[in-house]
A and B are shown apart, each in its own frame.
Chain A
Amino acid sequence: MAERAFSATRLPGFATVAIVVFLALYAPIITLVVFSFNDANSVAVWGGLSWRWYQVAWENTLVKEAAVRSLIIATSAALIATTVATMAALGTTRRAAFRGQTAIYVIINQPLMVPEIVTAVALLIFFAWIKVATGYQGLGYLIAAHSAFCIPFAYLPIRARLEGMDLSLETAAADLYATPWQAFRRVTLPLLAPGIIAGAMLAFVISLDDVVITEFVKSGGQDTLPTYMLGQIRRAVTPDVNAISTALLALTVILLTAFFLLTRKRD
């Protein structure tokens, strides 16, 4: 009898560990979702099923404004970050390896490595100068900040997609009389599209739930959904936060599922 290959699933206690881990990951989220449908005034005592807190949240103009602001920022940041990331990915992969390539990867992915709080403080000070110099107070600061830290999240799936694409595809297009623009438009872009969409969705989700940088950069009256919720919870834990969180969760799950389906396709 040949010995069977090592398998973690046959280690003693595997099932127990798995259950504990899944409970730790999902029990709080399940509780949150369940209690968002709670009819009672408390976040801890169950009082029957209802849409009550969703209604409360929906009728709260502050929540609605914060939600719209969040969507504006996340959409703008995703668009800007994805555009920049696509250009960066094309520049770093559609050519032979070059000196300094690793350094460029590190620079592009810098927001993943620098502690977020450091970036937040740096942006606070930097934007303060600009505010003084220009007098501009709008959402532009938040959009700029979010775009910057979303770039690596958009860059990674786009680069992964490009690295799986034979460099000779564009060469073949050029050989078949395509101008550089035609080669990009007709060959590179259609093949890259799933990567770009995946990158944009990832950037959108990352922007949507950012707290730290937003908290530092926002001016008065510029709460996003997460910072609004943080503010609420500081005063009192109200069940409408559960409802807003569950709505955010649903949106994120839908986008991430689409992300995985798109990146998995055509492999």
Chain B
Amino acid sequence: MPNADLYDHGRAAGGWLVNKDVAVEVRNAVKAFGQGDSAVRALDDVSVDIRKGEFFTLLGPSGCGKTTLLRLIAGFETPTSGEILLDGKDITQDPPNRRPVNTVFQSYALFPHLTVAQNIGFGLEMQGRPKAEIAAVTANMLALVQLGPMAQRKTSQLSGGQQQRVALARALAPQPKVLLLDEPLSALDLKLRKEMQIELKRLQLETGITFVFVTHDQEEALTMSDRIGVMSAGKLQQIGTPREIYTSPLNRFVAAFIGETNFLSGKVEPGGVRLPSGDLVEASGTEGRSGQVTLAVRPEQVRLTRAGEPGALAATIANWVYFGTDTHCHVTLSDGTQVVARLQNPASGESGLERGKPVALRFAPGAAQVLGD
């Protein structure tokens, strides 16, 4: 996939410009582990601009390289090749203690021999700030994460959610230019995780600090982020707003990883894509494409209508599953392709769905999307 497509700004004709709106710029980062033929490329030529003040999420399955990219920005790893810029300044070779970037670790990594307040003040103390300032900032941070009464406790006496807040406060206290968060919510139970999602978003808006958040949870990514970078196999597959990523996935990986998707194969023809069943489907993204392509359609964009309706695809109901808010109806097209339609349940009465019943399918306008390879 051509990398240039991923960029929506920042690269003027003919050269690299320092963009005042960009906090972190990763240029062609490669990170290989091991040597020779057995080397594994955890990051394979990744470039991304993270804007100032945005909540940027790196989303992908485990082993996709998202944590490696985070560790590269933090300085815990050095790239095999490529550069990392912070506010336009090359920091690729700087050790972590010289980067104005702080991390919230997955394991929290709180210092067990220090109190909550000492943990939060640690960064400022290492920076050699005056005692009065450390005390003031620590008090502010404790208030920000609502842990005031816990200041003198040891961190082992706190619950998981409280430890999480200490880790956040500790990383925010030195007012980093960028806050890196490495799957910080994965150790929390569902209810706490939901609360912390809202809390994190609030902290980001209140502090105005750029957040780079790593997660494998698509829902977390969609609900919290300003922009998402979807990663797989060491490459950035797509960068965009949650809406762009969800409604216009660039390729099959992104479409399948985020939400549920129906995949249909077909041939590009004037006016749309011709399915094996003979039906012509209107689709976006056909420009410049020819031959066999894959179409993606979200289940909630599939409508069921009466069999025989002109312009609709003939199908039979194979099965349906009731989910409360909606019903997932599995239908079979005349060529055997399975399609899932997510139908909103009526307020009362029966859905009228029956196994084996002939129906017809329609896709909402703009719902069918031709995927890249």
Contacts and interface: CB of A to CB of B under 8 A. Distances in A.
Contacts of A182: 126
Contacts of B111: 169, 172-173, 187, 191
Interface in A162-195: 166, 168-169, 171-179, 182, 186-187, 190-191
B97 A168 contact: no
A179 B127 CA distance: 10
Interface in B162-216: 170-171, 174
Nearest to A176: B123
A195 to B, nearest CB: 13
Residue of B96, B98, B107, B123 with highest tally of chain A CB at under 10 A: B96
A190 B101 CA distance: 26
Interface in B74-118: 74-76, 95-98, 101-103, 105, 107, 109-113
Nearest to A187: B111
A179 B97 contact: yes
B257 interface: no
Given A191-B112, A191-B113, A177 B105 contact: no
Given A176-B102, A176-B170, A176-B174, A171 B96 contact: yes
A174 B110 CA distance: 13
Contacts, number: 62
Contacts of B123: 176-177
Contacts of B127: 177
B363 interface: no
Nearest to B122: A176
B107 A175 contact: no
B105 A172 contact: yes
A182 B98 CA distance: 13
B109 A169 contact: yes
Contacts of B110: 172
Contacts of A176: 97, 102, 122-123, 126, 170-171, 174
A178 B170 CA distance: 13
Interface range on chain B (Cβ under 8 Å from partner):
20 to 34
A168 B109 contact: yes
Contact of A174 (B96, B112, B113, B171): B96
B107 A174 contact: no
B105 A174 contact: no
A216 to B, nearest CB: 44
Nearest to A168: B109
Given A175-B103, A176-B174, A166 B95 contact: no
Contact of A177 (B74, B76, B97, B113): B97
Nearest to B74: A175
A173 B122 contact: yes
A17 B97 CA distance: 60
A93 to B, nearest CB: 16
Given A174-B97, A179-B97, A190 B113 contact: yes
Contacts of A266: 112
Contacts of B109: 166, 168-169, 171-172
A179 B112 CA distance: 19
B296 to A, nearest CB: 39
Nearest to B101: A175
A166 B107 CA distance: 9
A168 B126 contact: no
A191 B126 CA distance: 18
Contacts of A169: 109, 111
Given A169-B109, A169-B111, 17 more contacts: A168-B105, A168-B107, A171-B96, A171-B105, A172-B109, A174-B97, A175-B96, A175-B102, A175-B103, A175-B171, A176-B126, A177-B97, A177-B127, A177-B174, A179-B126, A186-B122, A190-B113
Interface of B: 74-76, 95-98, 101-103, 105, 107, 109-113, 122-123, 126-127, 170-171, 174
Interface of A: 166, 168-169, 171-179, 182, 186-187, 190-191, 266
30 contacts: A166-B107, A168-B105, A168-B107, A169-B109, A171-B76, A171-B96, A171-B105, A171-B109, A172-B103, A172-B110, A172-B111, A173-B111, A173-B122, A174-B95, A175-B96, A175-B97, A175-B102, A176-B97, A176-B102, A176-B170, A176-B171, A177-B97, A177-B127, A177-B174, A178-B126, A179-B97, A186-B126, A191-B111, A191-B112, A191-B113
